[in-house]
Amino acid sequence: MEKFSIDIVTIFPQIAAAPLSESIIGRAQQSGQVEIRCHDLREFTTDKHRQVDDEPYGGGPGMVMKPEPFFAAVEALRTEHSRVLMMTPGGTPFSQPLAEEFSEQQHLIILCGHYEGVDHRVTEALVDQEISIGDYVLTNGTIAATIVVDAVVRLLPGVLGDDTSSIEESFGGEQGLLEAPQYTRPPEYKGMPVPDVLLSGHHKKIAEWRREQSIERTKATRPDLLD
Ligand code: JFE
């Protein structure tokens, strides 16, 4: 199987690289399970001032990102196995099923806008899918891209330890329910005991307790996940 790789194109390559160089995703890069390249969009400009933005046609506040640097970037990076994503608050909502789909690709190119957005010809001509990480407006797409990369890379074979199943655990895991609460030592802390059943060693009762807790938690915080 070909190695999975990701190219992120942004005017803030250090912001994209920093969170992906630590912890589990950092180790996945170091061990060669994924290659993540963060590109400075300005490297794809050809003018003296390395300009990436311009005034919007039709008027309005702020600046819009010029098409030429994004075209140059995608033309330089794209292969026949690439999927091109654009981060935008108006895109398809990102989700665990989409993360699973992206993890089955060989190469992702993630384009990140800034300012008020990107010339629409970029989206029309180059982008396979526009993605939003949620219904709130960030200042730019770079942090959103790191969130997509984190959720995708942890699904790649071998990135999590063998004892952790990234699929089974999950959000809306087994029955589309949230996980039951977890505890570790000590058995009592600041007057708060760990539920007796978890210390009982009674595996069937523990499973029943977890199932009840999952249902209660889902009702309380995510009723939309129940039928
Ligand atoms: C860009 C901006 C003005 C956006 C109405 C590029 N989920 C998610 N939230 N925010 C983003 C993604 C995002 C992604 C890319 C971005 C925000 N902005 C800021 C400014 C209007 C906007 O859209 C620029």
CATH number at 204 reads 1.10.1270.20
Rg (CA), the chain: 22
The residue ranges of DSSP E strands in 42-171, in sequence order, are 53-54, 64-65, 82-93, 107-112, 129-132
pLDDT digits (tens, 9 = 90+) for 123-168: 999 999 999 999 999 999 999 999 999 999 999 999 998 666 665 4
**Burial grade of 11 (CB within 10 A; 0-12, 13-18, 19 or more):** buried
**Do 64 and 148 lie in a common domain?**
yes
**Do 92 and 197 lie in a common domain?**
no
The CATH number assigned to the domain holding 67 equals 3.40.1280.10
Ligand 1: does its nearest atom lie under 6 Å from the Cβ of 99?
no
**Do 105 and 211 lie in a common domain?**
no
Ligand 1: does its nearest atom lie under 6 Å from the Cβ of 86?
no
Ligand 1: does its nearest atom lie under 6 Å from the Cβ of 41?
no
| Joined tokens for residue 72 | 């140059």
Q: Please, which residues have CB within 8 angstroms of residue 56's CB and are 6 or more apart in sequence?
A: 62, 63, 64, 116
Ligand 1: does its nearest atom lie under 6 Å from the Cβ of 67?
no
Q: Is residue 83 part of a domain?
A: yes
Q: Which of 9, 64, 87 most suits a substitution to test ligand 1, by most atoms within 8 Å of the C-beta?
A: 87
Q: Is residue 33 part of a domain?
A: yes
Q: Which of 95, 116, 138 most suits a substitution to test ligand 1, by most atoms within 8 Å of the C-beta?
A: 138
Q: What's the pTM value of the predicted model, to 2 decimals?
A: 0.95
**Residue of the CA atom closest to atom 11 of ligand 1:** 89
**Residue of the CA atom closest to atom 23 of ligand 1:** 89
**Residue of the CA atom closest to atom 16 of ligand 1:** 140
- Note if the bond before 89 is cis, omega within 30 degrees: no
H or E stretch covering 142: helix 142-153
Q: Is residue 86 within 8 Å of 130, Cβ to Cβ?
A: yes
**Do 32 and 99 lie in a common domain?**
yes
H or E stretch covering 8: strand 4-10
Q: Is residue 163 part of a domain?
A: no
Nearest to 78, CA basis, from 18, 128, 130: 128
CA dist 13 and 141 (Å) reads 11
Boundary of a domain, candidates 153, 186, 218? 153
CA dist 120 and 148 (Å) reads 22
Q: What pLDDT is attached to residue 227? A: 81
Residues of the chain with pLDDT under 50: 168, 170
| Joined tokens for residue 73 | 């970037």
Ligand 1: does its nearest atom lie under 6 Å from the Cβ of 133?
yes
**Do 65 and 130 lie in a common domain?**
yes
Q: Is residue 167 part of a domain?
A: no
Token pair 């996945």 is at which residue? 28
Residue 144 domain boundaries: 5-153
Angle at 145 between CA 87 and CA 156, to 5 degrees: 125
Total domains present in the chain: 2
**Do 113 and 220 lie in a common domain?**
no
H or E stretch covering 6: strand 4-10
Q: Is residue 162 part of a domain?
A: no
Ligand 1 midpoint to CA 126 (Å): 18
**Do 100 and 197 lie in a common domain?**
no
Collapsing DSSP to helix, strand or coil, 13 comes out as: helix
Q: What pLDDT is attached to residue 174? A: 62
**Residue of the CA atom closest to atom 4 of ligand 1:** 116
Counting atoms of ligand 1 from 1, which one is nearest the CA of 138?
A: 10
